[in-house]
Structure 1
Amino acid sequence: MATLIINVSDLESVKARLDAAFRGEPQGCAYSFNSEESLLSMLTPNRWAIVKALLGSGPLGVRELARRVGRDVKGVHTDTQRMVLCGLIDKTDDGKLLLPYDEVRVDLHCQAAA
């Protein structure tokens, strides 16, 4: 089962993971945002529904995706374009949308200030 972990990481943490990957150390699949605000801004409830609909589905056209999430095509197109531009979902050569994972986990932490 392929799992994507969406998290918040600073630039140094991302660089450290890349360095480890170049050394051949497995890193798993991760997508990192630079702040909690940017993660929450991107993963709105409507976009989260798109993520869930794409999981394990294979490539889908915008119309079929809109049907599956119960929204209008224009709104789904706008949301998916934004997600494609930031690299969260893929677009195939024939224009279909793809999230090639079976599971997505969002890793978001908050703790009291020291």
Structure 2
Amino acid sequence: MNPFLTKQRAVLKVYLLNEIERSKSYGWRYTEAIAARNADYQPTHSEIYKALHELTAEGIIKRHKQHVIEKGSGLSEVVLYSFTEDGYHKAQIYKLQVKNDLERSKRLIDSIIADNY
């Protein structure tokens, strides 16, 4: 049996995979990008990093440490995320599965609204 609605973490992973497709970056930038795209969905930093760690453990993305020079604060180390060798393909499959689940959840919500309101 399917869960009642799509899990929030699955949606967050889709957002992250789309951001990783756009550019190799780090968690803070992904947080800002997601917030800019959807004002109603503001995941916390811990949610972002949990999802990134899960995607890493699933073999979809990998981490790269990189040193950057930031104005006024000197040298910093950031962790950038990118797809593994077959990660892009795995990401497309995952996104399609979540899309199907979101569509099912939407039909369920629409039915509940129509039946009760």
What band does the TM-score fall into relative to the shorter chain? 0.3 to 0.5
TM-score, length-scaled by structure 2: 0.47
* Greater percentage in helix: 2
